Amino acid sequence: MSSASLPSSTLRYIRPTGTFTAFEGRYEAAALAMNELAATLLKASRHYNVMSGKVDDHEKDVTSSIAQLNAIDNSTTYPLLLDLFDARANGRIDSKTLAYGIDMVRGFLMRRFICGESSRGYGQMFVGAIPRESHDPIQELDSYLLQRGWPDKQRFETAFVRFRLYGSAYVRHVLEMLERSRGDLEQADLTNATIEHIMPQVLDDEWRSDLGDEADRIHAEWLHRPGNLTLSAHHPEYGNKSFAIKRKMYSESNIGITRELADPIMYPSWNEQRIKERGQRLASYASTIWIGPDDPLPPPPPPGIESICQMADAKGIGGPFRALRAAGERNGLYVRPAPNSQSYAMYAPPTNRAVCLLLTAATPKIPGTVRLWVYPKVFPRFYPISEQQALTVLGQDVERHLSPDEATGFIAKLDALFDEIRATPAREWVEDPRR
């Protein structure tokens, strides 16, 4: 167990190999009384015994949530879990809230697994997830996980339908949880149940006929997906039998997700469409088992141009950056944040705000300079000026690093160019159809 979890209040990730050194240094420096240290470790060890499943919690819901979390790899969550258990011990949350927090962590891990997200960095991530003396630790945790890529319902269900479940680390756990989630009054004994492919792993002529001309593609694409998998206590007996025969055998199963396959209205045949439909049905169950947000996190609003100017201020180039902005605006250009950027200002003609004539960056590569890009070939599409005139006045399309004096010189050229444009009679200019 990482020392980050020993006390969680340190909020610092320690690699497992550095645990003892960090632990020793922390407590020697703190000159903590031995009885206080012993009490801290004793309390943490009691929490750990519950977290690891060695003993049951005094609340059934917490024990159940921990057992489901322990069915998947979750050792990186221990610092966070210790803090949540400590929050309950200190009266900041109750047992129901603790169980829900554990379910949130479980949903975060499993949804990301199904969606193919990387688990790298979880050690540091879950130390960072520890609520910092919040009055509402679960709300803070919810916000934190959302910001760290917690898949929403639609994304998770879409990924689940096409997830290659058979052969994955959690195939049995997923199928068992789908069965348990049905809420049947009499739960089936799954001890001896094995994983059954409804469409078999080897196709015979009858199965090929049932699947149609694209049997090989369907088999390759859908064999190991959730919609084609179930649990059975009689797996060897099913073998490669046709679906018509299997359906009769499924009707005798005491496993709900298997027995429902015998429904002739829901599953009159077994083909690509039925596999997809069942996968979608199971995915809807799965999204209630592994909880998460219903809707995707909305993207942050694009920064306003003033916030980009403030960024330039912080970088020490606010003066020339703002002067360039002022020059653009007084010459009628629309100055806006560049798309998909939080540090670039884009200068567009007022008639088409999606077109870029100039671009400036609030983040210099060379200290004290403003990065500037000019696109002189675009000017003739919107203004009565030739490409050669724009090139002569503004220069080539290259990245420039302008000092404050150079920015002043460029502004003078820009003003002169627009003076010339304004002086051109409108009748001498024909609008470029590409605009």
Q: Which DSSP string do the residues of 246-265 spell out, in sequence order?
A: HHHHHTT-S-HHHHGGG-TT
- What pLDDT, on the 0 to 100 scale, is given for residue 19? 75
Is 13 in the same domain as 105? yes
Is 205 in the same domain as 328? no
Is 118 in the same domain as 168? no
Backbone angles phi, psi at 337, to 5 degrees: -65, 140
Q: CA angle, corner 178, sides to 197 and 183, nearest 5? A: 135
Q: Residue 275 and residue 154: Cα distance in Å, rounded? A: 18
The CA–CA distances, whole Å, from 361 to 129, 280, 310, 314, 402 equal: 33, 46, 12, 13, 11
Residue with tokens 């690093």: 401
Is 166 in the same domain as 274? yes
Last residue of a domain, one of 289, 316, 335: 289
Is residue 297 included in any domain, yes or no? no
Is 183 in the same domain as 227? yes
Query: Number of structural domains, the chain?
Result: 3
Is residue 209 included in any domain, yes or no? yes
**What are the residue ranges of helices labelled H in 202-271?**
205-211, 215-222, 235-238, 243-250, 256-259
Last residue of a domain, one of 144, 171, 196: 144
Is residue 58 included in any domain, yes or no? yes
- What pLDDT, on the 0 to 100 scale, is given for residue 21? 81
Q: Give the residue ranges of the chain where pLDDT is below 50.
A: 1-9, 426-435
Is residue 150 included in any domain, yes or no? no
Is 179 in the same domain as 113? no
Is 320 in the same domain as 423? yes
DSSP letter (8 states) at residue 4: G
Q: Please give the residue range of the domain that contains residue 336.
A: 305-428
Q: Residue 58 and residue 353: Cα distance in Å, rounded? A: 63
Count of C-beta atoms within a 10 Å radius of residue 108 = 28
Is 175 in the same domain as 258? yes
| Beta bridge pairs of residue 347 | 335, 358
Count of C-beta atoms within a 10 Å radius of residue 13 = 19
Last residue of a domain, one of 109, 144, 179: 144
Is residue 154 included in any domain, yes or no? no
- What pLDDT, on the 0 to 100 scale, is given for residue 317? 97
Is residue 153 included in any domain, yes or no? no
Is 272 in the same domain as 357? no
Is 354 in the same domain as 419? yes
Is 107 in the same domain as 211? no
Is 323 in the same domain as 414? yes
- What pLDDT, on the 0 to 100 scale, is given for residue 31? 60
Is residue 206 included in any domain, yes or no? yes
Tokens of 392: 């002569």
Is residue 312 included in any domain, yes or no? yes
User: Which of 350, 406, 356, 352 is closest to 376 using CA atoms?
Assistant: 356
